[in-house]
Each structure stands twice: as structure tokens, then as C-alpha cells.
Amino acid sequence: MIRVTVSYRNEPDKKFDWDYFTGPHMELLHRELDHRGMVRVEIDKGISAADPSAPAPFIAAAHLIFNTVEDVHTAFMAAGRPVMGDVPNYTDISPTLQISEMIG
């Protein structure tokens, strides 16, 4: 299995609209990627760093699960523009993407 992690650093004075992210953006993601090989999506909402009094280093992360890396690249070649183009509707944080093989 392949995981695409899209992380949003917890930066001061930046916005992140959770309602839009978990609503319209997730609907768009599923509409564009489910039929292109995305198996599921998991969402993390940062609550703290290791020190419970310190803020989480990331405000959010989305984990998009695919069967193969080829599915990932094919899906994003076809749908990357509308999916990434929607990002400014919920945040002004530049997302960091990583593609990983799940081994455990």
C-alpha cells in the first residue's frame, strides 16, 4: 500500500478552516480520486507536541491511501490541478507532500 501524506505546518498567523477541509474539500478529493485508485483517507488534527504545553508542529495531515505508486501518479496527473487548486479555500499554509510505502 502507498500513503500520500499532505501535512500543514502549524504556523503563526495562518488560517486553517476545518469545516471547509473536512466538508467541501474532502468531497472534492473523493469525487476526483476514489475512481482513480484512492482506497481511503485518514485525517490527523494536531493537538500538541511531545510536551503537552507546546503546540502541535502540524495543524493537520491528510493520509491518502492507494494500492500502488502508479495509481498515485496517474490520479494526480489527472486530478492534481483541481485538488491542489482548492487548497486556498481552506488555508494559506503551503502543504508538504510525501509519498511513502506502508511497510508495517
Q: Taking all residues of the chain, what is their mean pLDDT, rounded to a whole number?
A: 97
Query: Which pTM does this prediction carry?
Result: 0.93
CATH code, domain with 62? 3.30.70.100
* One-letter-per-residue 3-state SS of the chain: CEEEEEEEECCCCCCECHHHHHHHHHHHHHHHHHHHCEEEEEEEECCCCCCCCCCCCEEEEEEEEECCHHHHHHHHHHHHHHHHHCHHHCECCCCEEEEEECCC
Q: Which residue range(s) make up the domain with 77?
A: 2-101
Q: How many domains does the chain have?
A: 1
pLDDT digits 0-9 by tens, 40-86:
999 999 999 999 999 999 999 999 999 999 999 999 999 999 999 99
